[in-house]
Amino acid sequence: MKGIHSPHRNFSFESLGGDGQNSRPMTNEGPGATLRASDGVTIAYHARLAAKNRPVIALVHSLGMDHSFWRAVSDCVGDRASVVAIDARGHGRSGVGTPPFTAERMALDLREVLDHLGIQRVVVGGASMGGCVALQFALDHPDRSAALALIDTTAWYGPTAPVDWESRAQKAMAQGLASLTDFQVTRWFSDAYREREPDAVTHWVNVFLRNDMRGYVEACRLLGAFDARARLGTLRLPTLVQVGEEDYAAPVAMSQAMHEAIAGSTLDVILGARHLTPLEVPERVTDGLLQLCARVRS
């Protein structure tokens, strides 16, 4: 993967209003950890905290998944960085609250988890829906964002997005989440991966099927309404845009548009991969995240 090049000044965790680490004693908080957000909704998260001098990567999963989406990436990162991964509201063990969902509220959920952990600045990243939330986090909380990873995602799903996403939500409600799985898995994973890793595919389908229906529907509507294009040019931080070559859900053209709009960003197109690259090629995604960490610390 190409190195990350940016015309902006170098960032360091120490020089930007906090060290980017946990200001209280460093402890791991397992998948059962929860926080009550400022609007009363329970947000579940997992924190694997490395040594205090290591950078912190904060991650948000894709639609229909949960924090375990990032397990393989976290394993690849090892002790080179701390990793904080949340269950976005309406997913996993997090509550749903009062609709509608917004990217702004989900970004605030992440900030409140980081506040709870005493973490000031992070490399923030997300995949698909999580990429929209990570982008919103960087826009709304620049003081907390040292670098940004936009993975398999977009700033806007296009002019028909509200209708398209509402149609998916309506099908889920009328026919159940299982009615979407055949369509989903061919978009999530390449043909080669599905043939090579059938047990993994089954596992992620089961994660998807465990979704709270109301949470899934509201998240679809969030994506239909999401449009951050007008603010992309305001971003002034090292940014990686990463996408699978065969991504049909958020095609390469969407990543290219973000790359062109964000000054100094790097575009990494992963040959042969589809929509859920953190699951299909976690080593490649980890590479990108660690290069961002190196850029921040340089």
> Looking at residues 76-100, what average pLDDT do you find?
97
- Give tens-digit pLDDT for 147-161: 999 999 999 999 999
Contact by Cβ (8 Å): 243, 277: yes
**pLDDT higher than threshold 80 for residue 139:** yes
CA gap 149, 59 in Å, rounded: 9
Supply the pLDDT for residue 30. Answer: 63
Contact by Cβ (8 Å): 267, 241: yes
Supply the pLDDT for residue 297. Answer: 66
Beta strands 82-86 and 239-244 are unpaired
**pLDDT higher than threshold 90 for residue 14:** no
Q: Which domains does the chain have, with CATH numbers?
A: 29-297 (3.40.50.1820)
Closest by CA position to 151, among listed 84, 85, 240: 240
The pTM of the full predicted model, rounded to 2 decimals, is: 0.91
Closest by CA position to 223, among listed 124, 123, 106: 106
Contact by Cβ (8 Å): 122, 84: yes
Measured between its terminal Cα atoms, the distance across the chain in Å is: 18
Supply the pLDDT for residue 52. Answer: 85
Closest by CA position to 279, among listed 156, 169, 194: 194
CA gap 173, 163 in Å, rounded: 15
CA gap 29, 46 in Å, rounded: 6
Question: What is the pLDDT confidence band of residue 20, given thresholds at 50, 70 and 90?
Answer: very low
Supply the pLDDT for residue 3. Answer: 33
CA gap 288, 1 in Å, rounded: 8
Our measurement of the distance from residue 279's CA atom to the centroid of its chain's CA atoms, rounded to an integer in Å, reads 12
CA gap 4, 1 in Å, rounded: 9
**pLDDT higher than threshold 70 for residue 39:** yes
- Give tens-digit pLDDT for 90-117: 999 999 999 999 999 999 999 999 999 9
DSSP assignment of the chain equals: -PPP--SSPP--TTTSSS-SSBSS----EEEEEEEE-TTS-EEEEEEE---TTS-EEEEE--TT--GGGGHHHHHHHGGGSEEEEE--TTSTTS---SSPP-HHHHHHHHHHHHHHHTB--EEEEEETHHHHHHHHHHHH-GGGEEEEEEES--SB--TTHHHHHHHHHHHHHHH-GGGGHHHHHHHHS-HHHHHH-HHHHHHHHHHHHTS-HHHHHHHHHHHHH-B-GGGGGG--S-EEEEEETT-SSS-HHHHHHHHHHSTT-EEEEETT--S-HHHH-HHHHHHHHHHHHHHHH-
How many alpha carbons lie under 13 Å from residue 21 in its C-beta half-sphere? 20
**pLDDT higher than threshold 60 for residue 265:** yes
- Give tens-digit pLDDT for 185-214: 999 999 999 999 999 999 999 999 999 999
CA gap 185, 289 in Å, rounded: 25
